[in-house]
Structure 1
Amino acid sequence: MRENEMLEKDEIFSKVLRAGRRTYFFDVRATKADDYYITITESKKFTEEDGSFHFKKHKIYLYKEDFVAFKEILDEMTSYVLDHKGEEVISERHQKDFKKEYANPSPTTEETENQRTSFTDIDFDDI
């Protein structure tokens, strides 16, 4: 059997989730006995200083006998995160002013007044 035919038999169903520099591949594959299992692959792109790049991949093999328990724990974990932190993403990577915002969350009245007086007045009619 040719290599392409083997790949076609091996990969039954696939979905891709692109998430920034990460890509997740969800694949249904067949065993030699023609039973199905799932692979979940995380591919993460890394860019070098010279502009070249490479990918790091991590793969999980999920077999039918583990589907129910895996799904229950995944549902529980995602619900926990969303219940406790909501859907808003909070990180240095997603918020440019993350360190500033969380290092000093609320300026004092004096700091606010100093910020107001430290700016140069601009009249947009002059532009």
Structure 2
Amino acid sequence: MAQTKNQQRAAQAVAAWMAQHEWNNTQLVAQANADPGTIGDFLNGKRWPKIGTQGRIEKALGWAPGTLRSIAMGGPAPELVTAVGGRHEDGEQHDDALRFRRPAGLTDEQWHEIKDKVRGIIEWQIELTLRER
């Protein structure tokens, strides 16, 4: 049975996570211990995986249990990896590829608080290093 619009959003969230982490279907199949046809059909919008497969996909991605079902019910998708970038002396914007992976089980508030703290520590360390030059 074809997926609903929100189920397609869930599949797109998984595909976006895979793209961000440079995973292919084979890697997801291996990490989730899932059937390749099931994963392919899920990502292509052809069918919705059974609850056990959903749980294995969530675990493989580091998402909280029930995340796919939540998205399929209209809830938000997990945030993708955040990169900290900045302008260099040449004036060009660069992605310095400092990435954060959101662990399962954190509330949005906890996640934002952690990222803000880490970003502050990194900025402090950069300033300290620049002063030592």
Q: Same fold by TM-score, threshold 0.5 exceeded?
A: no
Q: Which has the larger radius of gyration?
A: 1
Which structure dedicates a bigger proportion of its chain to helix?
Answer: 2
TM-score with structure 1 setting the length = 0.30
| TM-score normalised over the length of structure 2 | 0.29
Bigger RCO (CA 8 Å, 6+ sep): 2
